[in-house]
Copies of this chain bind each other. A is one copy, B any other.
Amino acid sequence: MTPDTRADILAALVGALGPDVVTAPAQIEPRYLGDWVMALTTGRPSALVRPRTTDEVSTTLRLCHARGVPIVPQGGRTGLVGGATPIDGCVVLSLERLAGIEEVDPAGSTMTVRAGTPLQAVQEAAQKADLFFPLDLGARGSCQIGGTVATNAGGNRVIRYGMTRDLVLGLEVVLADGTIVRSMNTLIKNNAGLDVRQVFVGSEGTLGVVTRIVLRLYPAPRSTCTAFVACPDYERVVALLRHAQAGLGGTLSAFEMMWPDFYTLMTTHVPGMPRPLPLGSAAYVLIEALGSEPEPDLARFERMLEAAAGAELLTDAVIAQSPAEARGFWQVRDGSGDFPRIGWPGKSFDIGIPTPRIGAFVDACRAALVRRWPTAETAFFGHIGDSNLHLHAKVTEGEQPQADIEAVVYDEVRAWHGTISAEHGIGVVKRPYLAHSRSPEEIAVMRAIKQALDPTGILNPGKILD
């Protein structure tokens, strides 16, 4: 971008929004120059804008649109695919000041929030009203609700409550040219024409900037049952999943499988990590149910597990006797966050494979890695009820050949008709592999929609599509 264009957009933004909202390039703090996985490597932004209102977002987009200046929207920058990483000459649009909860409506079971509100603040506001916002991620303290909408975030409770898309009733979004689309629906059902919100959820900032959201809330659970079980093989893990879904009414809220490579690594190498069951089983599963009545729910949970044991779907099981013990079970599952701490410089993946075939895929994927790197080690785990598999792969000591590992794993994913991204999105990191999971015709539809809503291509260019 030419120095003239840079100076022009900066002056226009400062003139319209003031120096408190607009930061010149030299003063931009480093945290705005990258996200969790990727920094801006060359070039620099033209400005950082931190609006406090939807109108200020609209003004920013209008000014950029008139000049063809790219916009990179940022939430909490906790994404894992480089979706919030700036590009040279862009205006970085941070939503962090457009934050706060506008309304909690207990009778309607809805909440109206601004995009920059941290997820945890949303969860806590729901709790205060004796309600429940089920979306939950490790980054809850720093990710923003607008970012979860833009990326259609998943997390641990998708099996019961769905992804972010399923929790969004309405939204307000600013289009590339600054048009404010207010679609703040609070109704569960609304079939008045095309469902505009669906287009923007999960669009990773490429179609519009989400500024306000109406969220759907649920009743606060009054009981939690948590078990850690061992199964003899993958086929019986799937049978146990269906058995638990059928036997627990609608209450199954997590079904997290850990392969022995993951379980052994976690419970052997992470200091202080509990080991709920002995090593040596073919599969471990954390099962959670959120219910309404502690005693009857626990009795039913036990009956479900006993019947599963009777049918030889599991070989061992332990039920958490306290919230602390349940947290210990989750600590194992969430141990993926400890990989760096144990000096396991693996490459991580977020892939999806049809649930019945995940077991065979894991074997094939591991074999493919070992064929290429005989020293390769893997750690597989995932939300298998959601057909979502995570993988950490370490193929050598020290620095990992990231691109080569990606190529091997994503080629397997393609062969198994899976997805290269179950929940993290595409961003820039996975863009080269989009065609592994989407057909040319699907990608053409994406491009047609992008062209329709952002004809000059200023919104988060280079993310999802090139």
Contact = CB atoms under 8 A, between A and B. Distances in A.
A291 B245 CA distance: 11
Interface string A370-403: 0000000000000101111000000000000000
A324 interface: no
Among the interface residues A189, A207, A386, which one has the most CB atoms of the partner chain B within 10 A?
A189
Given A108-B356, A166-B162, A191 B424 contact: yes
A202 interface: yes
Contacts of A465: 193
A446 B198 CA distance: 11
Interface residues of A, number: 101
Contact of A453 (B105, B188, B445): B445
A251 B355 CA distance: 24
A293 interface: yes
Interface in A184-200: 185-196, 198-199
Contact of A439 (B182, B242, B383, B445): B182
A183 B443 CA distance: 10
Nearest to A81: B191
A318 interface: no
Interface stretch (A44-52, A86-94, A114-122, A295-303): A295-303
A446 B219 contact: no
A424 B191 CA distance: 7
A249 B291 contact: yes
A155 to B, nearest CB: 10
Given A180-B441, A250-B160, A419 B242 contact: no
Interface in A203-252: 203, 207, 218-220, 222, 238-239, 242, 245-251
A448 interface: yes
A146 interface: no
A251 to B, nearest CB: 5
A464 B195 CA distance: 12
Contact of A193 (B109, B182, B446): B446
A23 interface: no
A107 B299 contact: no
Nearest to A425: B191
A260 interface: no
A190 B439 contact: no
Closest A-B pairs by Cβ, 4 of them:
A250-B250, A219-B246, A452-B452, A107-B356
Given A181-B441, A246-B292, A249-B290, 10 more contacts: A154-B189, A179-B444, A186-B354, A192-B434, A218-B245, A222-B246, A249-B291, A448-B452, A451-B452, A452-B452
24 contacts: A108-B387, A109-B242, A158-B189, A163-B189, A165-B198, A179-B441, A181-B439, A182-B441, A183-B438, A187-B386, A188-B355, A188-B385, A189-B422, A191-B419, A192-B430, A194-B202, A195-B198, A195-B202, A246-B292, A249-B249, A249-B251, A249-B290, A249-B293, A293-B300
